[in-house]
Homo-oligomer: A and B are copies of this chain.
Amino acid sequence: MYTEVTGGVTAARGFKAAGVRCGIKQDQTKKDLAIVFSEVPSIAAATFTTSAAAAPPVHVNKDILKNSAIVRGIVVNSGNANSCTGERGKEDARTMIRTATELLGIPADQFFASSTGIIGEYLPMDKIVPGIAEAVSQLSKDNHASAAEAIMTTDTVPKENAITFTLDDTEVSIGGMAKGSGMIAPNMATMLSYVTTDADITQPLLQKALRSAVDKSFNCISVDGDTSTNDMVGIFANGRAGNKKIVSEQQPQYARFADALEYLLRSLARKIVIDGEGATKLIEIQVHGAEDEESARKACKAIGNSNLFKTAVHGEDPNWGRIVVALGYSGAAFDPGKLDIYIGDVPVYQVNYKIDFNFDDARRALAGDTVTVTVNLHKGNARAAFWTCDLTQEYIVINAHYHT
């Protein structure tokens, strides 16, 4: 379907990246500053946290996106979220952007800034400013992996992926990197993902495709249900592929691009869940037969955010009762007598309260690294999917005994 390729955030033509250590993180071996840059003018689209306590860089990026038709990349630091830092935080985010754009020789309103890490401390600008200079000097096609590494906080592995596909006869690439699932760590907020593409597409359609892909990927995962103050997904498109420009939602090329973007973001989202704190299993929840998509999503989320369900999966217990309970309070319409629940391929609860399932088969379906739960609500034709991880003692250990 799509060809996965190496190259991450620089797989698309015309993009460079770098990741360096500037000294924000105490661990001397860890990178903490990344830049992604399009050599030629690019447009951008983005989705931001809905938190009422959105961090200063989020506000600054929103202003940039509103005021400039061209946005050519982003500078990101990890180790400090620049959150709950007020006006000074905004000024620091603007200084990051100004420093980068001056060195890159582009206008100061054509760049984003992001931060992730501890909340409530001012950025160490004396380290960040020279760090930006070093990162700019190292920008290259080859440094995508360093960039993915430099945006990590408590992530245990860097997360990147890229795909190629054709629009008409033109080869197009989309690549990206991501870090830690929302609130995977104490005061280490933030799900961040930056994506680049050489597709030629209008800004409103890029925004539309991103919104839709985010809703079906990053908005369908959860490690512990929290939403951070710094969450952001940004995409940059520079048109270097030379495809016939996508200008209408009605074009089949738009659908193809949007679908490819969704595929890429889902692959990054899964990497985040698998790397969830203390997680030992990836759980995929499929709800179908819902009245509408909203209901399907509500049902998915209620199951995926239930501590009781997530601990049952950890214990490899085919506890369908906890799924019924979560559905019950999800807000999705269904009749408890007209419901099918499968763990893997094993029916554990079926219409007319049929529950004499094969316990051993169900246990086996829970034994692997990936567990699938499928629910048919028998109310309509809408569906949704959701990814989460099991809840383990290790999660408690990590989060209870990390101190500010």
Chain A residues within CB distance 8 Å of chain B: 49-54, 83-86, 118-120, 183, 186-187, 189, 224-229, 305-308, 311-312, 314-315, 317-322, 324-334, 336-337, 349, 352-353, 355, 359, 391-393, 395-397, 399-404
Contact = CB atoms under 8 A, between A and B. Distances in A.
How many copies of this protein are present in the complex? Answer: 2
Nearest to A391: B396
B324 A119 contact: yes
Contacts of A326: 226
Contacts of A315: 399-403
B314 A353 contact: no
Contact of A327 (B53, B85, B317): B53
B118 A329 contact: no
Contacts of A305: 225
Interface of A is mostly: loop
Given A315-B401, A315-B402, A321 B119 contact: yes
B400 A314 contact: yes
Nearest to A224: B307
Choose among A119, A319, A395, A396 the residue with the greatest number of B CB atoms under 10 Å from its CB. A396
B226 A325 contact: yes
Given A326-B226, A332-B52, A321 B404 contact: yes
A321 B186 contact: yes
A402 B306 contact: no
Contacts of A352: 86
A353 B120 CA distance: 8
A85 B326 CA distance: 17
Contacts of A52: 327-334, 336
A287 to B, nearest CB: 14
Contacts of A337: 86
Contacts of A318: 404
A303 to B, nearest CB: 11
Contacts of A85: 353
A336 B49 CA distance: 14
A51 B224 contact: no
A329 B50 contact: yes
Given A118-B321, A314-B396, A227 B84 contact: no
Contact of A308 (B186, B229, B322): B186
Given A311-B396, A396-B393, A319 B353 contact: no
8 contacts: A52-B329, A84-B324, A85-B353, A120-B355, A186-B322, A226-B326, A229-B324, A393-B397
A325 B391 contact: no
Contacts of A333: 52
A229 B53 CA distance: 35
Contact of A321 (B84, B328, B331): B84
A187 B183 CA distance: 29
B321 A120 contact: yes
Choose among A317, A397, A402 the residue with the greatest number of B CB atoms under 10 Å from its CB. A317
A399 B322 CA distance: 11
Contacts of A53: 324-325, 327-328, 334, 336
Nearest to A229: B328
Given A52-B328, A391-B396, 20 more contacts: A49-B328, A52-B333, A52-B334, A84-B321, A84-B324, A84-B336, A118-B321, A186-B308, A187-B319, A224-B307, A224-B308, A226-B308, A228-B325, A307-B391, A311-B399, A312-B399, A314-B400, A315-B403, A317-B400, A317-B401
